[in-house]
Amino acid sequence: MSEKITAMLSAEDRAWVDETLKKAHIKLSKVRERSRAKLPSEAQNGVHDNKLEAQGPTGMAKGFWTNGFWAGMLWQMYDETHDARYQEIAKFTLPILDGMLLEMDTHDIGFLWLPTAVLEYKITGDKTALQSGLSAAKWLAGRFNPVPNIIRAWGVGDEKMALSKVDPPMRLAGVTIIDCMMNLPLLYWASEVTGDPRYRNIAMRHADMAMQYFVREDGSVIHINEFDPDTGAYVDNFGGQGYGKGSAWSRGQGWGLCGFTDSYKATGKKAYLDTAEKIAGYVLPNIPEDGLIPSDFRQPPEPWVQDDIAAGVLATALIDLAELVPEKQDLYLGVALKMLHAIDDKSADWDPKTDPITLHGTAGYHLPGRNINFIYADYYYIEALRKLKGCDTHLW
């Protein structure tokens, strides 16, 4: 979006955004040196882990789906500060990912190459990064199944995942998840830079399918849908990383809200904007009074399970919606600010001696890893703040 957003903020909020980004710079100038040769995915005891060292027999930890976010945050900070050291360290990740591309059997290609290759190309115009992003888009497009109109989520080897342990087991060839809406911008971008509509056509067929099958009547969003990959017949839906079947995994609401907003921005198709607003219509009344976001909007009151990742994703989407829907700008912007302030006040660590910024992300309601730092929570927090400053890198 643009400077228009900044004009919508109060002087007090503008000052808060500036001050928070300055705190991020003070902290990240130290963190970047400690983590300069890492692929961090989460922090334990204040220290980034390293997926590069954690690689298993297949080496796939190097291709772990969140491995683009550390570089993405560094690119955001380079764009913010023009401090060349951010750029130097950000460049560490992409060659590692490029070396893994042909082994990637996942839709997460967008999550990996958007904050690395595409962001580098957008910020610097680097032609190698452009080619890397386009190769990734081609690989992602190859996951499209034109019978159920889905981009297949997971790959061979994922059968053992806890999420697929349902009875009868899911046929992964027919499984797609709401998260995939966030991978579509790689395809929209590829059509934009090449002039070839194939990528956009695939993305729109997936987004049209998602409007029909993922968004419930009340505006809440399903995590996992399964189709028959041969006939396209609908099979079933699953609670996935949420509390259970029929629940509303907060991060999934964020992926849907952000994904449909992006699809509208890329195509101008009004139905996508209407769908994003329908999801917002479910989410907004469910935001807790204190602005901290639960892992699932339908989780039991106890224990409190928080997800700062969802907060950042919802905020980044609502900031865009505020600009796209002027009559609701105060509402959307107000909720985005409330969530971002809540993290700064109650869930952030700005100490330069520790690595994480946000402290209470949750992998999934029933998965190990509750109320801890995840790198993508920090990425979306920084991205949302930069959008409020009018510095949108137009990734999501």
Residues labelled as active-site residues: 108, 179
Query: Given candidates 80, 105, 179, 307, which one binds ligand GLY under the rule CB under 6 A?
Result: 179
Q: CA 69, CA 44: separation in Å to the nearest integer?
A: 17
Closest residue to ligand GLY, based on beta-carbon distance: 179
Query: Given candidates 32, 51, 206, 251, which one binds ligand GLY under the rule CB under 6 A?
Result: 251
* Min dist. Cβ of residue 187 to ligand GLY (A): 17
In the complex with ligand GLY, the residue whose CB is nearer, 329 or 347, is 347
Q: CA 215, CA 198: separation in Å to the nearest integer?
A: 25
The residue behind tokens 């399964």 is: 226
Is 370 a binding residue for ligand GLY by CB under 6 A? The answer is no
Q: CA 338, CA 334: separation in Å to the nearest integer?
A: 6
SS3 253: helix
Q: CA 139, CA 158: separation in Å to the nearest integer?
A: 18
Residue pair 294/304 in contact (Cβ under 8 Å)? The answer is: yes
In the complex with ligand GLY, the residue whose CB is nearer, 179 or 355, is 179
Q: CA 59, CA 52: separation in Å to the nearest integer?
A: 9
Q: How many residues contact ligand GLY, by CB under 6 A?
A: 3
In the complex with ligand GLY, the residue whose CB is nearer, 251 or 278, is 251
In the complex with ligand GLY, the residue whose CB is nearer, 98 or 179, is 179
In the complex with ligand GLY, the residue whose CB is nearer, 313 or 321, is 313
Task: State the burial class of residue 364 (Cβ atoms within 10 Å of its Cβ: 0-12, 13-18, 19+).
Answer: buried
354 is written with which tokens?
């520790």
Q: Comparing C-alpha atoms, which of 218, 202, 144 is closest to residue 176?
A: 144
Q: CA 191, CA 196: separation in Å to the nearest integer?
A: 5
Q: CA 310, CA 312: separation in Å to the nearest integer?
A: 6
Element (H, E) at 75: helix 69-81
* Min dist. Cβ of residue 278 to ligand GLY (A): 21
In the complex with ligand GLY, the residue whose CB is nearer, 115 or 337, is 115
256 is written with which tokens?
């849907």
* Min dist. Cβ of residue 218 to ligand GLY (A): 22
Binding stretches for ligand GLY (CB under 6 A): 179, 241, 251
